[in-house]
Structures are given as C-alpha cells and as structure tokens.
Amino acid sequence: MEVGEYARTVMHATIRHKMTYVNSFRAFWGYREGGVREYEKWMTEALAEAKLAPATGDVPVAALLFDEAGERIGTGHNQRELAADPTAHAEIVAIREAANRVGSWHLENTTLVITLEPCTMCAGAILQARIPRVVFGAWDEKAGAAGSVLDVLRDRRLPHKVEVIAGVKEAECAELLTEFFNAKR
C-alpha cells in the first residue's frame, strides 16, 4: 500500500466512523511492523475464495479465520442459496468450521477476514465466539453492522468489543460484488 493510498483509506475511514479511524491508525503502526501487509495478504486469499462461489446465485462473499500463528482454521463462502439456509453466511460457515476444528466455541486470539462488512447476525456470532479482531474489505451501506448502519462490534453497552480494521482491499472487494450484481441484472 502506498502512503497516498493509505492516507485516502484513513480519510475515508474517518468519515465513516471515528473508531475506525483509531483502528486504522493502530493498523498503520501495525503496517510498520508488517500488520497491514499481513491483512492484505489474507484479504487476497479471501478474495480468491469469494471468486470460487458456485453457480448457485450466491452473493460472492468469503470469510477466513486465522489463529494467532497465522494459520487458517476456518473458511466460509456465503451459501445461503446453495444450502437454502438464511444463516449460511460466509462468517457463520467459517466460525463453525473453526469451532469444530478447535473443539471449542471460544475462538480467542483469532482474526476474521471478510470481503464484506458483517451483518447484524454475523456480528452477533463474532461476539459470541469472542473473536477479538475483524478485518473487512467492502462496506455494506444497507446492512453493515460494523460501522455502516449499526456498530454491533464496538457497541459500548456490550461486554465484548472487537478491533475492526475496515477497507482492506476495499476497491477489489466492492468490484467483485458490483460485477456480480451487474451480471444478474
């Protein structure tokens, strides 16, 4: 990420949500230590997964869960249409896979990387799984629950708070969705 691009990301984030700005600032220092580069690498993997969406008409969204060693322990695609399941969002699929693998509902010290801002249901699941960090790409202006419409992940009234790093590879993540919806029209 170039400095100019980073500045635009921070500016953009500031407009969206002041907490996002704080987190982006934190991410900047992380960047100096390779943090943001790691997030970008993970988002590239998530984008590749999202592009593998089956021809079921499912919106191409992917979620990956990484443990503290950086190992991928959960992979999810949105499969609401495929499974005829309203809860089969990418995040839920990835969280279930990781919980099964780890043998615990408690997914501490993990990072969830999603191509799209989570909805209220997924934000709720993230809190329930005690996931401490969420990295997402595109904003969901209509249903996002991490700063767009609601901010469930950072609601002061709730006991568990999540660090949110928003807008990682935002343009590519948004483009994938735009292409999908344009093709559907």
Nearest CB to Zn ion, comparing residues 36 and 94: 94
Q: Can residue 119 be called a binding residue for Zn ion (CB under 5 A)?
A: yes
Closest distance between Zn ion and the C-beta of residue 140, in Å? Answer: 9
β-bridge partners, 66:
72, 111
Nearest CB to Zn ion, comparing residues 39 and 136: 136
Active site residue 91: yes
> How is the beta sheet containing 72-77 ordered, strand by strand?
72-77, 62-66, 111-116, 133-138, 163-165
Active-site hit among 49, 91, 117, 170: 91
Under a CB-based contact definition with an 8 Å cutoff, are residues 6 and 28 in contact? yes
Of the residues 64, 122, 131, 134, which one makes contact with Zn ion according to CB under 5 A: 122
Q: Can residue 116 be called a binding residue for Zn ion (CB under 5 A)?
A: no
Per-position x/- string for 85-114, each x denoting binding to Zn ion as judged by CB under 5 A, each - no binding: ----x-------------------------
Please report, as residue ranges, which positions from 50 to 89 form the binding site for Zn ion (by CB under 5 A).
Answer: 89
**What are the residue numbers of the active site?**
91
Using CB under 5 A, list all residues that contact Zn ion.
Answer: 89, 119, 121-122
